[in-house]
Chain A
Amino acid sequence: MEMTLPILILAIPITMFLILGIGGVYMSKKMAGVLGILGMGVTMCIAYYVALTYFFSGDPAFIDAQGLRLQVPVFDWLWLAFTNALQVKLGFLLDPISAMMLIVITTISFMVHLYSWGYMEGEKGFQRFYAFLSLFSFSMLGLVVATNIFQMYIFWELVGVSSYLLIGFYYKLPSAVSASKKAFIVTRFADLGFLIGILILSFYCKTFDFIPITNDPTSVLASTGGATFMGASVLTWALVLIFVGGMGKSAMMPLHIWLPDAMEGPTPVSALIHAATMVVAGVYLVARMFPLYLIEEASLLFVTCVGAITAFYAAVVACCQIDIKRVLAFSTISQIAFMMVALGVARPELHDGFGYMASMFHLFTHAMFKALLFLGAGALIHAVHSNDYTAMGGLRKYMPITHWTFLIGCLAIAGIWPFSGFFSKDEMLAAMFANHWFWGAWMTMVAGLTAFYMFRLYYLIFWWEENPHYKEHKPHDAPWQMSLPLIILAAVSCVAGFIPFGEFVTWNRMPYHIHIELPVAATSLTVAILAIALATVMYRKKNPIPSRLKAAMPGLWQAAHRRFYWDEIYMFITHKIIFNIICKSIAWFDRHVIDATMDGFAKITQKTSFAIRGMQSGSIQTYIVWYFLGAVLLAGITWICIF
């Protein structure tokens, strides 16, 4: 494959961003929308061509005789050369996970572009919205194809910026503004860890490139020379710090607080950025560096623990949210944590490290069905003009397309055969059980909770009790631009599970044959069906059970509803401790020491000048006398010095 096609994948979105960003105000909305959709459509076609060529062509450049898929840097330009060894390049790395991500990103991005045409119709700043979507697509594509960790970091920050811009799209709403700031600051805080990790790693590796680092991790370990810091090896520190960057982006505890608030952005943005693509960047990062993580099992254990705690926490909180987008946000956090755990438990000796494959598989299927759920939520919000399920209920008759597609999404995320979520979740659970029964049992419980809260949401939106407001304002299905992506994504969610994913993406890039582990599959399926049955009993028709349960455990419900007070804890730490104690003392020092010194200089100058200002008498002849005396004095001094 020649170089031009992969370049186009990056060039088209950034060109679209420039065209729509600069020229958008001179275009009609329709023109801007069509341009954005066309640009993304062409990008999608090229990305499909590139990815499918990579997977299926059998070209010896991509796959060797043993079936090992190669990592191909299609191009790699030298950009910054710090030293002969330490150089930053900008390139395009084609390997199984980046090719898979190309497909995911361009598909979801195209669906969202199309969907936004209907959803954002009549909004002010329609052209700006498309420009930002293009910028995001460019940054995300650049992130996944990065050939080195520094390039990844650059695009990592770029997706952060586009996320900030899109969350704050309704910049007149104070809540949207504060949500965008929160997302930016929290992820930036995490990226500090990422940057330090990169610096440590590159200090010891003497390179930023992924290929030498990941292909020969033991030499990296050797180059650290067994250096340790606070009881752990420096490599563990570097990997944990890099993972902290991933925790920020992927909303792992305790840095998850920005994601629920990010739902203030337009719903298509939530579907694209905060469900399908950007938030899985953390998972992608760990997957990218996986061979390194593998030689430091402590760092993998850290990944597993963070993931397991987050998955459970987010699933519990999702059961008690009223805003449907917040439910989906917490569900996203929980599912990403699922992928993290699957990565964390993957070991080469356990079925060729199939946890890695399962994690990537779930990333793929989750992107499809979570984007579907978010876009469905967008259609609902579009119809009833509210984010809360209390304004919905009984919608199945009014919005059949949304109802059926949403149901498919719920079934997929709950892990019901034959929908895609079943296959990926089954692989992940099998990998967890293979590592240790505890992880398996714990995550099976989370999977049950997932099924429960998704069906709680489904029933409260589409069944429960019909909202009386429908008589005045009859909700209806969304226009075709919005329904078509729903139908396409639902179709993908139905069949994606049958993709033999192990043939394409594994940790060592050798094909792995997926086989369903019957005991695990049966257990998870049973748990999911039981959870759905429970949700059916509780929420199918209006009944007093939920409110009675709520009344029985008011403390628990309130705590879960308020997300276990994480935001309050952060408020306490930032406002009470950082602002009040640390910042105030720094401000005192600044005002009373630094400023006071400067004021002192000014005062001395002023006092002196007041004391001697009488010398400026206005009489020229006096000045001349002084001048003459001065000149004589200088001449005298010079005379003395010379002789």
Chain B
Amino acid sequence: MELTMLWYLVPSVIMFICGVYGFITRHNLIAILLSLELMLNAADLNFVVFNRFLFPGAMEGMFFTLFSIGIAAAETAIAVAIVVNIYRAIGNTDINEIKKMRF
């Protein structure tokens, strides 16, 4: 059995949909953050796969993924810091408790 592009893309789509589902349904901020990382990794996977199969001689997709992972790490650090601060302020991390920024 040959490993075609589809074998990589289908898990990536599943990962992405899981991320979206988790992002919409979970109430815990940490869980939302995890879902976010899932979506991001699905996108990274796509970069690598497309680079590998469509442009075998090039390296841009690989490098872009590396950058993306680095940025995701930094972004997670900030997000966790925000979550910690929210916890200090209101005592829990429930997304339904923070709805003050509205019209």
Query: B24 touches which one: A613, A618, A621 (CB < 8 A)?
Result: A621
In the complex, which residues of chain A have a beta carbon less than 8 angstroms from the beta carbon of B101?
Answer: 618
Q: Please give the distance in Å from B87's CB to the nearest CB on chain A.
A: 17
User: Which residues of B does A touch, CB under 8 Å?
Assistant: 20, 23-24, 95-96, 98-103
Are A628 and B103 closer than 8 Å at their CB atoms? no
- Could you write out 17 A-B pairs with CB less than 8 Å apart? A613-B103, A614-B103, A617-B102, A618-B98, A618-B99, A618-B101, A618-B102, A619-B95, A619-B99, A620-B95, A621-B23, A621-B95, A624-B20, A624-B23, A624-B24, A625-B24, A628-B24
In the complex, A618 Cα to B24 Cα: how many Å? Answer: 14
In the complex, A614 Cα to B102 Cα: how many Å? Answer: 9
Are A617 and B23 closer than 8 Å at their CB atoms? no
In the complex, which residues of chain A have a beta carbon less than 8 angstroms from the beta carbon of B98?
Answer: 618
Q: Please give the distance in Å from B73's CB to the nearest CB on chain A.
A: 22
Are A617 and B95 closer than 8 Å at their CB atoms? no
In the complex, A625 Cα to B20 Cα: how many Å? Answer: 9
In the complex, A453 Cα to B23 Cα: how many Å? Answer: 101
Q: Please give the distance in Å from A613's CB to the nearest CB on chain B.
A: 4
In the complex, A488 Cα to B103 Cα: how many Å? Answer: 84
Taken residue by residue from 338 to 372, chain A's Cβ proximity to chain B (1 for < 8 Å, 0 otherwise) reads as 00000000000000000000000000000000000
In the complex, which residues of chain A have a beta carbon less than 8 angstroms from the beta carbon of B102?
Answer: 616-618
Taken residue by residue from 605 to 643, chain A's Cβ proximity to chain B (1 for < 8 Å, 0 otherwise) reads as 000000001101111110011001000000000000000
- Inter-chain pairs besides A618-B101, A619-B95, A624-B23, 9 sampled, C-beta below 8 Å: A614-B103, A616-B102, A617-B99, A617-B102, A618-B100, A619-B96, A620-B95, A621-B23, A624-B24
Q: Please give the distance in Å from A630's CB to the nearest CB on chain B.
A: 13
Taken residue by residue from 276 to 288, chain A's Cβ proximity to chain B (1 for < 8 Å, 0 otherwise) reads as 0000000000000
Are A616 and B103 closer than 8 Å at their CB atoms? yes
In the complex, A620 Cα to B100 Cα: how many Å? Answer: 11
In the complex, which residues of chain A have a beta carbon less than 8 angstroms from the beta carbon of B24?
Answer: 621, 624-625, 628
Taken residue by residue from 583 to 623, chain A's Cβ proximity to chain B (1 for < 8 Å, 0 otherwise) reads as 00000000000000000000000000000011011111100
In the complex, A628 Cα to B24 Cα: how many Å? Answer: 10
User: Which residues of A does B touch, CB under 8 Å?
Assistant: 613-614, 616-621, 624-625, 628
Q: Please give the distance in Å from B21's CB to the nearest CB on chain A.
A: 10
Q: Please give the distance in Å from B79's CB to the nearest CB on chain A.
A: 12
How many A-B residue pairs have C-beta atoms within 8 angstroms? Tell me.
24
Q: Please give the distance in Å from B1's CB to the nearest CB on chain A.
A: 29
In the complex, A625 Cα to B21 Cα: how many Å? Answer: 10
Top 7 closest pairs, chain A to chain B, by CB: A618-B102, A618-B99, A613-B103, A616-B103, A618-B101, A621-B24, A616-B102
In the complex, A621 Cα to B96 Cα: how many Å? Answer: 9
Nearest residue (CB) in A for B26 is A621
Q: Please give the distance in Å from A512's CB to the nearest CB on chain B.
A: 91
In the complex, which residues of chain A have a beta carbon less than 8 angstroms from the beta carbon of B95?
Answer: 619-621
In the complex, A336 Cα to B5 Cα: how many Å? Answer: 99
In the complex, A625 Cα to B103 Cα: how many Å? Answer: 19
Q: Please give the distance in Å from B42's CB to the nearest CB on chain A.
A: 14
In the complex, which residues of chain B have a beta carbon less than 8 angstroms from the beta carbon of A628?
Answer: 20, 24
In the complex, A620 Cα to B28 Cα: how many Å? Answer: 12
In the complex, A591 Cα to B19 Cα: how many Å? Answer: 56
Q: Please give the distance in Å from A282's CB to the nearest CB on chain B.
A: 69
In the complex, A624 Cα to B19 Cα: how many Å? Answer: 12
In the complex, which residues of chain B have a beta carbon less than 8 angstroms from the beta carbon of A624?
Answer: 20, 23-24
In the complex, which residues of chain B have a beta carbon less than 8 angstroms from the beta carbon of A616?
Answer: 102-103
In the complex, which residues of chain B have a beta carbon less than 8 angstroms from the beta carbon of A614?
Answer: 103
Greatest chain A CB density within 10 A among B20, B23, B101, B103 is at B103
In the complex, A628 Cα to B20 Cα: how many Å? Answer: 8
Q: Please give the distance in Å from B59's CB to the nearest CB on chain A.
A: 28
Q: Please give the distance in Å from B4's CB to the nearest CB on chain A.
A: 21
In the complex, A182 Cα to B78 Cα: how many Å? Answer: 68
In the complex, A616 Cα to B95 Cα: how many Å? Answer: 16
In the complex, A407 Cα to B99 Cα: how many Å? Answer: 95
Q: Please give the distance in Å from A59's CB to the nearest CB on chain B.
A: 82
Q: Please give the distance in Å from B38's CB to the nearest CB on chain A.
A: 14
In the complex, A449 Cα to B98 Cα: how many Å? Answer: 95
Greatest chain B CB density within 10 A among A613, A614, A621, A624 is at A621
Q: Please give the distance in Å from B93's CB to the nearest CB on chain A.
A: 13
In the complex, A620 Cα to B96 Cα: how many Å? Answer: 9
Nearest residue (CB) in B for A614 is B103
In the complex, A616 Cα to B24 Cα: how many Å? Answer: 17
In the complex, which residues of chain A have a beta carbon less than 8 angstroms from the beta carbon of B103?
Answer: 613-614, 616
Nearest residue (CB) in A for B20 is A628
In the complex, A621 Cα to B20 Cα: how many Å? Answer: 10
Nearest residue (CB) in A for B27 is A621
In the complex, which residues of chain B have a beta carbon less than 8 angstroms from the beta carbon of A619?
Answer: 95-96, 99
In the complex, which residues of chain A have a beta carbon less than 8 angstroms from the beta carbon of B20?
Answer: 624, 628
Q: Please give the distance in Å from A621's CB to the nearest CB on chain B.
A: 5
In the complex, A303 Cα to B100 Cα: how many Å? Answer: 81
In the complex, A616 Cα to B102 Cα: how many Å? Answer: 5
In the complex, A624 Cα to B20 Cα: how many Å? Answer: 9
In the complex, A613 Cα to B98 Cα: how many Å? Answer: 19
In the complex, A616 Cα to B100 Cα: how many Å? Answer: 11
In the complex, which residues of chain B have a beta carbon less than 8 angstroms from the beta carbon of A620?
Answer: 95
Q: Please give the distance in Å from A581's CB to the nearest CB on chain B.
A: 49
Q: Please give the distance in Å from A618's CB to the nearest CB on chain B.
A: 3
In the complex, A613 Cα to B103 Cα: how many Å? Answer: 6
Q: Please give the distance in Å from B98's CB to the nearest CB on chain A.
A: 8
In the complex, A582 Cα to B103 Cα: how many Å? Answer: 48
In the complex, A616 Cα to B20 Cα: how many Å? Answer: 20
In the complex, which residues of chain B have a beta carbon less than 8 angstroms from the beta carbon of A618?
Answer: 98-102
Q: Please give the distance in Å from B64's CB to the nearest CB on chain A.
A: 21
In the complex, A614 Cα to B24 Cα: how many Å? Answer: 20
In the complex, which residues of chain B have a beta carbon less than 8 angstroms from the beta carbon of A617?
Answer: 99, 102
In the complex, A617 Cα to B95 Cα: how many Å? Answer: 13
In the complex, A625 Cα to B23 Cα: how many Å? Answer: 9
In the complex, which residues of chain A have a beta carbon less than 8 angstroms from the beta carbon of B99?
Answer: 617-619
In the complex, A619 Cα to B27 Cα: how many Å? Answer: 11
In the complex, A227 Cα to B98 Cα: how many Å? Answer: 82
In the complex, which residues of chain A have a beta carbon less than 8 angstroms from the beta carbon of B96?
Answer: 619
Q: Please give the distance in Å from B24's CB to the nearest CB on chain A.
A: 5
Nearest residue (CB) in B for A615 is B103
Greatest chain B CB density within 10 A among A614, A616, A620, A628 is at A620
Q: Please give the distance in Å from A622's CB to the nearest CB on chain B.
A: 9
Q: Please give the distance in Å from A620's CB to the nearest CB on chain B.
A: 6
Q: Please give the distance in Å from A629's CB to the nearest CB on chain B.
A: 11
In the complex, A47 Cα to B24 Cα: how many Å? Answer: 91
